Amino acid sequence: MILVTTAGKVGAETARLLRQRDVPVRVLVRDPAKAAPQELARLGAEIVVGDLSVPASIDDAMRGVSAVVLVSPAVPAQELNVVASAARASVAHVVKATSKASPDSPIARRRWQSEIEAGLAASGVPHTLLRSNAYMQNVLALAPAIAATSSFGSAAGQGRTGMVDTSDVAAVAAQIAASAAAHAGKTYRLTGPEAISNYDVAAVLSKLLGRTITYRELTVEENKDAMIRAGVPEQIAEMNAQAFALTADGDAEWVTDDVPSILGRPARSFEQFAAGHAAAFS
Ligand SMILES: NC(=O)c1ccc[n+]([C@@H]2O[C@H](COP(=O)([O-])OP(=O)(O)OC[C@H]3O[C@@H](n4cnc5c(N)ncnc54)[C@H](OP(=O)(O)O)[C@@H]3O)[C@@H](O)[C@H]2O)c1
């Protein structure tokens, strides 16, 4: 039995892919009435209700589990609850979704990921880290603005990002969870096939949508305020704007072959991603 903690973007797709292979899957969710858990239940996944801040609910979900796919917000207390539960249950492997974690990053989220990675290492549970570049799905947060104004802004300047599609992150997570021993102790750096700037994003969307989409370079403060106005909580808007400022300086300009090496097929391009979500930008 493989436990996937939460049915967010990566978790839901990982569980779906494992069910496609007929692997027994359990998914821990807070709200089983949401669309993703309902769809996964139809595919034969076991849905258990729990909360990552409640250790007893994680222990219930951990019974009989051989591997865990840990993919949830980078909140150390919550993800370390999962790690501790996995250690108590002598789980054989944890696949952990993470980012460019570092204990001295200026971005709190990256320091938190680093704390979780350190706790996982200290737990002694064999594990694999999926250190992803920015998700292509982040661009969907701009879709309402693009649909309404045919423009979008960011503090990323002209910086390039080796963006990865969450469906590729999920495909890698499913592959590793299903053949965990071969991947113990490894860190994979997951990216798309190329590093692109927001000018490239605008060009791809313009071609796809048949109208000109304009990219505007924003200051960090302008970018943070725009995200807050769009409904992003202030702390997250702050971390996102900081990350975009680093992107402007080349921080996200990295591309690897890890996705194609593990999956035996090319990583999905931004063109493919955009085409699959055209309706959201229209
Ligand atoms: N975005 C990026 O560019 C990027 C890049 C690299 C790495 N990452 C990492 O990827 C991970 C996030 O993956 P994702 O984008 O697939 O996640 P996501 O779509 O944001 O989904 C998060 C899920 O966690 C659930 N959740 C939140 N708090 C919970 C709690 N206390 N108990 C149970 N469930 C809870 C949410 O459930 P509800 O539906 O109930 O809210 C939601 O289903 C993070 O570790 C992040 O740092 C992200």
Give the position, in ligand 1's atom list, of the atom nearest the Cα of 74: 45
Q: How many CB atoms lie within 10 A of CB 8?
A: 17
Residues whose CB falls within 8 Å of the CB of residue 73, separated by 6 or more in sequence, listed in order: none
**What is the per-residue pLDDT for 116?**
98
- What whole-number distance in Å separates Cα of residue 72 and Cα of residue 264? 26
User: What band does 245 get if pLDDT is binned at 50, 70 and 90?
Assistant: very high
The percentage of the chain sitting over the pLDDT mark of 70, rounded to a whole number, equals: 100
**Predicted TM-score (pTM) of this structure:** 0.98
**What is the per-residue pLDDT for 184?**
97
**What is the per-residue pLDDT for 118?**
98
- What whole-number distance in Å separates Cα of residue 195 and Cα of residue 53? 36
CA of 11 to the centre of ligand 1 (A): 8
Average pLDDT, integer, range 3-13: 98
Residue with tokens 């990982």: 14
**What is the per-residue pLDDT for 105?**
97
**Which residue's CA lies nearest to atom 40 of ligand 1?**
30
Mutate to test the pocket of ligand 1, among 29, 30, 38, 57 (most ligand atoms within 8 A of CB): 30
With CA atoms as reference, report the closest residue to 130 among 68, 86, 78: 68
CA of 182 to the centre of ligand 1 (A): 26
Average pLDDT of the chain is 97
The phi, psi pair for 153, rounded to 5°, reads: -130, 160
CA of 157 to the centre of ligand 1 (A): 26
**Which residue's CA lies nearest to atom 44 of ligand 1?**
73
Per-residue pLDDT tens over the stretch 65-92? 999 999 999 999 999 999 999 999 999 9
SS3 152: strand
With CA atoms as reference, report the closest residue to 237 among 164, 152, 138: 138
Judge if the beta carbon of residue 73 lies within 6 A of ligand 1.
yes
The phi, psi pair for 110, rounded to 5°, reads: -75, -35
Judge if the beta carbon of residue 97 lies within 6 A of ligand 1.
yes
Which residue stretches of the chain are H helix?
9-20, 35-42, 55-62, 76-88, 108-123, 143-149, 166-178, 198-209, 220-229, 234-248, 258-263, 270-276, 278-281
CA of 148 to the centre of ligand 1 (A): 27
Judge if the beta carbon of residue 197 lies within 6 A of ligand 1.
no
Q: How many CB atoms lie within 10 A of CB 199?
A: 14
Average pLDDT, integer, range 174-191: 96
CA of 5 to the centre of ligand 1 (A): 9
**What is the per-residue pLDDT for 50?**
98
The token pair that represents 13 in the structure block:
């797709």
**What is the per-residue pLDDT for 89?**
98
**Which residue's CA lies nearest to atom 1 of ligand 1?**
135
Mutate to test the pocket of ligand 1, among 5, 6, 39, 201 (most ligand atoms within 8 A of CB): 6
User: What band does 262 get if pLDDT is binned at 50, 70 and 90?
Assistant: very high
Residue 119 has what DSSP assignment?
H
Per-residue pLDDT tens over the stretch 49-71? 999 999 999 999 999 999 999 99
**What is the per-residue pLDDT for 93?**
98
Average pLDDT, integer, range 103-111: 97
